[in-house]
Amino acid sequence: MDIATLIGIVAVFVVIIIGMAIGGSLRPFWDPPSVFITLGGTICSVMMSYSMRTFLDTFKIAKQAFFSREEDIGETINTIVRFADKARREGLLALDEDANKLEDPFLQKGVRLVVDGTTQELVRNILETEVTFVSDRHKTGQAVFETIGAMAPAFGMLGTLIGLIQMLLKLNKPEEIGPGMAVALVTTFYGSVLANMFALPIANKLKSRNQREVFVKEAIIEGVLSIQAGDNPRVVQEKLKSFLSPKEREKVTLPTRTKEAQSGAPAESR
């Protein structure tokens, strides 16, 4: 579970509720018709904007913001460097068994393409095409929540206009104007809450996760092509470290055998 997302969404609700409670009772902020207009109108608009399959997958998409595991790019690079070392020593075919043990399906596909003797250009085209389509699918999920973020305030304002019209019909009853105005404005409140405390933060989280995943996959592509080219593990390591922040680079290490070979010390002396 993503702790930052969970803490953030709980904390923002606590802040808003405390702010409302300090000013008085929470009762004036509850109005079923306003909820119905804002939530119902937003749901219907999203349904019209996307296919039924995409609409029904909305909650699955939201789940990614809370439960998707962030890939450890440092560990992925260590694996690629280890594969590069083994490929130089034993040949590309030696990676076939190791590829079956990989948990990352994208890296596994890349290594298998290399082991099967696929040309470098074709390997790059296949992997980059997959990255493009994965990114497009993720962007559809982001767009759903961005649509919710745009529609919710609009339907909140629509509910407010409905409330104002109903209030104006009662101008002959001055004592009802104040409460009527409060109820009318509650709908705008619901729209802002739905957009700014739920939809837009999730859209931003999904965007961030997509960027990270594409970033990791681009590093994998470069690593797989370096393995195919027979680059020295040290060269592969330095090339892929350029994808990392200074802190993340500390996690990247060369395989023990490669270190020994570069230092000239035999394994038995260690």
Is residue 266 scored above 50 in pLDDT? no
Q: Are 214 and 131 in contact (CB under 8 A)?
A: yes
Host domain of residue 128: 28-261
Provide the pLDDT for residue 270.
33
Q: Which long-range contacts (CB under 8 A, 24 or more apart) does 58-66 make?
A: 58/144, 61/141, 61/144, 61/145, 61/206, 62/145, 62/202, 64/141, 64/206, 64/209, 65/2, 65/5, 65/202, 65/205, 65/206, 65/209, 66/1, 66/2, 66/5, 66/6
Provide the pLDDT for residue 1.
61
Q: Are 139 and 149 in contact (CB under 8 A)?
A: no
- The answer to the question of residue 93 being in a domain is yes
Is residue 191 scored above 90 in pLDDT? yes
Provide the pLDDT for residue 255.
67
Q: What is the pLDDT of residues 35-62, one digit of tens each?
A: 899 999 999 999 999 988 888 888 787 8
- Provide the number of structural domains found in the chain: 1
- The answer to the question of residue 17 being in a domain is no
Residue 131 sits at the vertex; the CA angle it makes with 125 and 137, to the nearest 5 degrees, is 135
- The answer to the question of residue 13 being in a domain is no
- The answer to the question of residue 4 being in a domain is no
Q: Range with the lowest mean pLDDT among 104-118, 129-143, 156-170, 188-202?
A: 156-170
Q: What is the pLDDT of residues 7-17, one digit of tens each?
A: 888 888 898 88
The gap from C-alpha 193 to its chain's centroid, in whole angstroms, comes to 22
Provide the pLDDT for residue 166.
81
pLDDT, mean of residues 9-32: 84
Q: Please name the amino acid found at residue 262.
A: Q
Q: Which of these, 139, 142, 143, lies nearest to 131 by C-alpha position?
A: 139
- The answer to the question of residue 20 being in a domain is no
Provide the pLDDT for residue 39.
92
pLDDT, mean of residues 168-188: 78
Using H for helix, E for strand and C for coil, what is the string for 67-101? HCCCCCHHHHHHHHHHHHHHHHHHCHHHHHHHHHC
Mean pLDDT of the chain: 84
- The answer to the question of residue 118 being in a domain is yes
Read off the pLDDT band of 30 (50, 70, 90): confident
- The answer to the question of residue 189 being in a domain is yes
Report the alpha-carbon distance of residue 245 to residue 219 in Å, rounded: 13
- The answer to the question of residue 9 being in a domain is no
Q: Are 102 and 111 in contact (CB under 8 A)?
A: yes
CA distances from 113 to 124, 135, 211, 228 (A): 10, 21, 25, 10
Residue with tokens 């590093």: 219
- What's the half-sphere exposure (Cβ side, CA atoms, 13 Å) at 83? 31
